[in-house]
Structure 1
Amino acid sequence: MLHTQPLYAGQCCLADVLVSNLSKRNSPPHEFLHFLLGRVIGKFLCSGEKEVDLAVQSAKAAFKIWSQKSGMERSRVLLEAARIIREQRDEIAKMETINNGKSIFEARVDVDISWQSLEYYAGLAGSLAGQHIQLPGGSFAYTRREPLGVCVGIGAWNYPFQIACWKSAPALACGNAMIYKPSPLTPISAVMLAEIFSKAGVPKGLFSVVQGGAATGQFLCHHPDVAKVSFTGSVPTGIKIMEMSAKGVKPVTLELGGKSPLIIFSDCVLENAVKGALMANFLTQGEVCCNGTRVFVQREILDTFTKEVVKRTQKIKIGDPLLEDTRMGALISQPHLERVQGFIKQAKEQGAKVLCGGNLYVPDDPRLKNGYYMQPCVLGNCRDDMTCVKEEIFGPVMSILPFDTEEEAVERANNTPFGLAGGVFTRDIQRAHRVVAALQAGMCFINNYNISPVELPFGGYKMSGFGRENGKAAMEYYSQLKTVCVEMGDVESVF
């Protein structure tokens, strides 16, 4: 049961049913924080095996109803959910900021992307179509796209509401049910989405939220009636989810971490390249999986580019993320803040130079003194073998590395086990396309960075995962293909 006083009051939406025995569980309640202020704002009890099974059984019942509806019928419900999100935009954004720490400016963008996702897949819900294949003798075959059943979505804490929409919109459009487990650090947004879906008219149990940590995730992945798991998070957790799902031969979509390259050529439009580098590193306090944190700069413009990046970084407004002019809020937790600080300390020990930022930040408002704030950091004098260049920091830390030739830049950019994203800034359009073709990454940008319209498939190569979210491609990962052969003549048997 979810208790959030005074910010939010309501139950964990377990298949739209109030599960009274949650309050009788022996496990202690999990606390979650107001990351702006650094204090507890609520508690919830983790869903155990019994509660997970209840959610699955309720989802199975709802799936039987939902999967029989036409695409147009499902579309109308998704459009109504999108309308409600637009109507509640400011309320959702404020809650996202309070529970996550990102600026209200960014939170509103996240909410807009969320309702756009629902609208986009509402438009595709009626487009699930198969093929007609002519066979000899007048016989024929056809294929049809069918939903999978009960799907599980496991979300991350950096985009709580948006990720819940990214996973649920294509799943529901295809006719599936979804049980969603948000990060225990940001449990509120998904409950708000469940309430919105309920108001929009989805069958009871079609979209349920279960709260909890690793144990709850294990119950979901091991459940025999779960047809698919979609996970966003770290590589180690993604590997475990893949192993658990494999035992039940469940398909998985994994959107994992990255250490993405951004290549700045000397012929770039410098102003745009600087803006792109900031966008590639400092959105959501740097807590973005596809960030281009390895910024390769051609040596001819290294000094000019670096000076401009440092100047712009120092001007970023840090502080209360509920203020309209704030552009960097609080990090997600004290342990994570300490982890990011540890990367900066290690970088200095390995020879990197802090060009700006990297220190803890204490806002002027005394109410915020316990929040998890730091200055955005730019590191110079970096080498490819440094820990800050090789490992995902997941914080506001940019590493600048010089390069001389295109071939060198591409080779170094690909020298990583990750492959989520990559970018290039250049005026040479042939080189731009040549470089992105050579980059081993699932999402590439030319003369921009970190834009992700819902129409575009999103996902990684290598250890950054597989499967795709967004775009028409996501529909394939939430449906299965059936082939039907139709004989129009007599059966020819060899017996």
Structure 2
Amino acid sequence: MRPALPPVATTPFVAGRFQPAAGEAEAIVDPATNEVIANVAGASAAQAEQAIVAARQAFDAGDWPRMPVFERGQILRRIADAITARTEHFALLESINGGKPISGARREVAGAARVFTYYAGAMDKFFGDTIPVAENLLNFTLREPLGVVAQITPWNFPLLAAAWKLAPALAAGCSCVLKPSPLTPLSTLLLAEVIEACGVPPGVVNILPGGAEIGQLLAEHPAIDGISFTGSTTVGTAVMRAAAGTIKSVALELGGKNACIVFADADIEKAAKSALGAAFGNAGQSCSARSRLLVQRSAVPAFTEALVAQIKTLKAGSPLDDKTTLGPLISASHWERVDQNVRRAEHDGARLVAGGHRPSDLPDGNFYEPTIFADVTPDLALYSDEVFGPVCSITPFDTEQQAIGMANASAYGLNGSVWSRDIGQALRVAKAVRTGMIAINGLPSASSTSVFAPFGGYKRSGVGRELGMSALAFYTETKTVTVDLS
């Protein structure tokens, strides 16, 4: 039996308090069972306007952007501690609402706390410059908060994505209007409660559940100074277009069709084990999933055999079972889209090696078997299109230059990996692949090296970077000051 949801508000959070329901209610579904677990009131257009006014007032006349950065840091540390204290509450919400295996959900909660901890101590180490200009002139730069920022987060990592956006923005002194995905708003609403309790002034953080119409309003609104969006490339394009009308600062973290390049001299068993997490982590519902497995031709049989053996170690089942390592897809409609991609790949001539169906022992919910295709040529849709499910493809290559060309033959450039015992070869390939992140001989995701290293991509994978000091660059403006000393 599923445990009861932790208590959490289900209405918009505006100007420091949860508002009465005004917009249309959204049924929130457990993807493991497709049962309704809550009803969340979407923000009305009027509530969205109130949130923008509150954020504008908090920034233009409030204490937060004028507070010494060390004092802001102390509040961010309190938020981190409060997230940690409520680990089980947050993890249950992520698991029940998002279908995440509970062990992974706990790790993501810890990751969110670490992000707040990092930015609690980062802003007072983010400096301007002193620039030699002339003998009688002093020239220096200041870092000042960007202003009121809109933030739109995805359904696949709701709490973590909210932390990635809110923590650096708050550290910089911005005020925020954040719209979580309508599919997974619950952990973000609990985060709003934590933020308010930790002493963030009213209006500095506002949370607006809702759909595309709220996102459109935020992207277009003249009182918003910048917008940070994580989601699909299609929607990201629309956000950029809408923001252009008022020349907003824009950061976009979008799709990916990432390549894992395995040379014949690599540790094949280790590469296959890593590919398991890289392709099937979060049921493949990740923009940084490495689902294009480019394998040197002579190693294809051994790698395929090793990967098929590895997927047998995955356990699909209730996300609340500590032994579960593969949860469901987020919705029934998304299950259908993933299955359509699989059926099309079969029709196009790709060879199904493993998976490709609903698990026979899990007839309910949105579970999908980890799926491997071989003989996937670069002209197939499966090679180039982002599936966003537990589906990967194996494509052979012959030479180093061919591998580089195949990896770069993509509209995306977010993540990647290279496997070779020849470190010179691995570094040449890593430098040549057009991607924002790449791992050599390890790690299920390039960002695993540090959640504080820059995260983002080339080409249609986005604009700008999240995490690290790079995020502070987005949430600040640079002001040049020149003093005449004569």
TM-score, length of structure 1 as denominator length: 0.94
The structure 1 residue matched to 2:210, chosen from 187, 209, 212, is: 212
1:192-224 Cα deviation digits (max 9, x unpaired): 111111121111121110011110101111111
Which among 228, 231, 255 is matched to residue 229 of structure 2? 231
Per-residue deviation, 1:326: 0.5
Query: Which range is displaced more, 121-130 or 478-487?
Result: 121-130
Q: Which amino acid aligns with 1:16?
A: G
Confirm or deny that 1:103 pairs with 2:97: no
Q: How does 1:74-473 map to 2 (within 5 A)?
A: 74-363=72-361, 369-448=363-442, 449-452=444-447, 453-473=450-470
Q: Hey, what's the Cα distance between the residues in 2 that align with 1:6 and 1:293?
A: 34
SS in 1 for 2:279: helix
User: 2: distance between equivalents of 1:61 and 1:432?
Assistant: 52
Q: Match for 1:280: what amino acid?
A: A
Distance in 1, Cα, partners of 2:441 & 2:135: 55
Q: What is the match of residue 50 of structure 1? A: 46
Most deviating of 386-395 and 450-459 = 450-459
Amino acid at match of 2:364: N
Whole-Å separation in 1 of the counterparts to 2:258 and 2:466: 18
RMSD: 1.4
Secondary structure at 1:282's aligned position in 2?
A: helix
Q: C-alpha distance in 2, partners of 1:42/1:237?
A: 26
Give 1:408 shift.
0.5
Deviation at 1:30, TM superposition (A): 1.7
Residue 33 (structure 1) aligns with:
29
1:48 CA drift (Å) = 2.6
Match of 1:493 in 2: none
Q: Secondary structure at the match of 2:339?
A: helix
How far apart, CA to CA, are the structure 1 residues paired with 2:8 and 2:90?
Answer: 14
1:478 aligns with 2:475: yes
Give, in whole Å, the separation in 1 of the partners of 2:271 and 2:159. Answer: 30
Cα shift at 1:139: 2.1
**Relative to structure 2, which stretch is displaced further, 232-241 or 448-457?**
448-457
Query: Aligned-pair distance for 1:362?
Result: 4.8
Measured in 2, the distance between the counterparts of 1:354 and 1:362 equals 17
Are 1:15 and 2:12 matched, yes or no?
no
**Cα pair 2:5 2:92 within 8 Å, conserved:** no
Asked whether the 8 Å contact 1:297–1:402 carries over to 2, the reply is yes
Residues in 2 aligned to 1:485 and 1:83: alpha-carbon distance in whole angstroms: 41
Distance 1:135 1:466 in 2: 32
SS in 2 for 1:226: coil
Tell whether the 8 Å contact from 1:263 to 1:423 is kept in structure 2 after alignment: yes
Shift of 1:6: 5.8
- Structure 1 residue 66, shift from structure 2 partner: 0.5
For residues 6 and 264 of structure 2, what CA distance do their matches in structure 1 show? 50
> Retained in 2: the 8 A contact 1:227–1:250?
yes
How far is 1:308 from its partner? 1.0
Q: 1: CA distance between counterparts of 2:264 and 2:401?
A: 14
Moved more, 36-45 or 129-138: 129-138
Q: Distance in 1 between matches of 2:156 and 2:211?
A: 16
Q: Deviations over 1:24-47 (max 9, x none)?
A: x5xx42211011211111222322
Q: Which amino acid aligns with 1:450?
A: S
Instruction: Quote the Cα distance in structure 1 between the aligned partners of 2:406 and 2:323.
Output: 37
Work out the CA distance in 2 between the residues paired with 1:465 and 1:48. Answer: 29
Given that residues 46 and 216 in structure 1 are in contact (C-alpha distance below 8 angstroms), is that contact kept between their aligned partners in structure 2? no
CA distance in 2, matches of 1:256, 1:332: 18
SS in 1 for 2:63: helix
CA contact (8 A) 1:257 1:420 kept: yes
Deviation of 1:346 (Å): 0.5
**Residues 320, 363 of structure 1: 8 Å contact kept:** no
Normalised to the residue count of structure 2, the TM-score between the two structures is 0.96
Work out whether residues 155 and 163 of structure 1, in 8 Å CA contact, stay in contact via their aligned partners in 2: yes
**Shift, 1:134, TM fit:** 3.4
Distance of 2:5 and 2:95 partners within structure 1: 16
AA paired with 2:441? N
